[in-house]
Structure 1
């Protein structure tokens, strides 16, 4: 099989250490084109622009826009022959069902699925106690080694299998390399949700309590969930679909069936 053409993007920005770590690794297995935000675009979800400015960069292209912009610009214009999209590596985990729609990293992968291009979102868990600590956390480039190794493995081998006949994209979360070699586990996004909102003098403070619980290793997430796997030192791989699937509901069918537009 020929080497894959890989579109590499992220939400931390084109100068991030996590993107560089994946770039340096993936160039050994494929032809990598970087189309990434010029600046940090974390937690913007699938926000999309109507027009973006593109700048040449030593790694490829820097986009003045969101991760979803980068995927659309890349697959639609800058790298249309892409075989697989890789988004990451994000500085910080993207774990839990409630995070999927917020994450720019995951959203870049989701956007690729509408082009019928398989995608992998990659993030690295950093054991800190507060969300805001990420702003001042300094992560050594070597810390991304485990995430990069797992990504290389998946990019090399998923194309030879039927993985992407069942899943539209993979959400991958790895521990820091300092924890040592990590097993890989297939997981589902955790349903545990511990956001709180506290009224303060000038507003409302929003806080995700799960981060300090993760740092303490004391989490309520069950075996088989993405968060449990990462806290246990494993690389979590969640196979996901886009758009989110729904089921037929008899009760809703009955309710809609009784609607009278003339009433």
Structure 2
């Protein structure tokens, strides 16, 4: 196909280093327009606004809103002919099934799929022990080289190869480039969950112990999962679908069938009580 028209967004903000790394890489293979938050919108999930302010920016548009705002505004009003939406590159990994709904980066990709536009969410793993350390760490542009290389390759080839005929979006996570050349591994999101909470007086501290496992390299995730691939120095690519699915549940059907009769029995018991 001809060069794709790409809408590029993120959740770290339009001026972030990772965003510029992807903009430069994707501009080599497509027509890229930035439609990204003016400020950091990390971990906002799929939060949406009623109205957003948009201003022109040298790479496209800066939006006073969330990543999902950017995708809706972009696809409906600013880049209406987009062939592909790319979100990233996020400073920090978005790995594991439990993270997908929290991430602004992943949520932007999910939002695009409801417009029937293929999408990719791109993040880079930074090996730190605590989530709080992210506020003090900023990787330089060179650190994003492997994330940018994989994103450019997939954006250039996935559409023509029919990848999005079998999935809605790709969740891509790459190690820092300082770890060396990283091959691609097709993965599934890990289901390992190690959030815990400790009460200290009037406060409760929430802690994700996965980061400690990752920093130590001793994660219990099995082969084939996204987190295992990244810790092993590979680019994890998970092909995912966006809409929630539903299946036939006989037990729930049975409850639905007895719903009215259960209420009739309750009303009858109440009437008997009043008579007494």
Task: Report the TM-score range of the alignment, normalised by the length of the smaller protein.
Answer: over 0.9
Q: CA deviation at 1:253?
A: 1.8
Compare the two structures and name the one with the higher helix fraction. Answer: 2
Cα distance in structure 2, aligned partners of 1:256 and 1:166: 34
Secondary structure of 1:117's counterpart equals: coil
Cα distance in structure 1, aligned partners of 2:34 and 2:86: 10
Q: What is the TM-score of this pair, normalised by structure 1?
A: 0.98
Show structure 1 runs of 4+ deviating over 4 A.
none
Q: Which 5+ residue runs of structure 2 have no aligned equivalent?
A: 265-276
Instruction: Specify the alignment match of 2:178 in structure 1.
Output: 178
Q: CA deviation at 1:243?
A: 1.3
Say whether residues 1:124 and 2:90 are aligned partners.
no
Q: CA deviation at 1:250?
A: 1.9
Instruction: Specify the alignment match of 1:46 in structure 2.
Output: 46
Q: Whose Rg is larger?
A: 2
Q: CA deviation at 1:257?
A: 2.2
Please give the root-mean-square deviation of Cα atoms over the aligned residues, in Å. Answer: 0.9
Secondary structure of 1:260's counterpart equals: helix
Q: CA deviation at 1:130?
A: 0.2
Cα distance in structure 2, aligned partners of 1:86 and 1:204: 36
Instruction: Specify the alignment match of 2:94 in structure 1.
Output: 94
Matches within 5 A, 1:52-91: 52-91=52-91
Query: What is the aligned length?
Result: 263
Cα distance in structure 2, aligned partners of 1:227 and 1:62: 32
Matches within 5 A, 1:26-41: 26-41=26-41
Secondary structure of 2:161's counterpart equals: coil
Q: CA deviation at 1:60?
A: 0.6
Per-residue CA shift, 1:150-189, capped at 9, x if unaligned?
Answer: 0001001111122111100000000000011111111111
Cα distance in structure 1, aligned partners of 2:100 and 2:60: 27
Q: CA deviation at 1:244?
A: 2.6
Cα distance in structure 2, aligned partners of 1:166 and 1:129: 36
Q: CA deviation at 1:138?
A: 2.3
Q: Which 5+ residue runs of structure 1 have no aligned equivalent?
A: none
Cα distance in structure 1, aligned partners of 2:48 and 2:26: 27
Secondary structure of 2:105's counterpart equals: helix
Matches within 5 A, 1:3-22: 3-22=3-22
Cα distance in structure 2, aligned partners of 1:212 and 1:165: 37
Secondary structure of 2:73's counterpart equals: helix
Q: CA deviation at 1:254?
A: 2.0
Instruction: Specify the alignment match of 2:272 in structure 1.
Output: none
Cα distance in structure 2, aligned partners of 1:258 and 1:53: 51
Instruction: Specify the alignment match of 2:211 in structure 1.
Output: 211
Per-residue CA shift, 1:138-157, capped at 9, x if unaligned?
Answer: 21110000000000010011
Q: CA deviation at 1:105?
A: 0.1
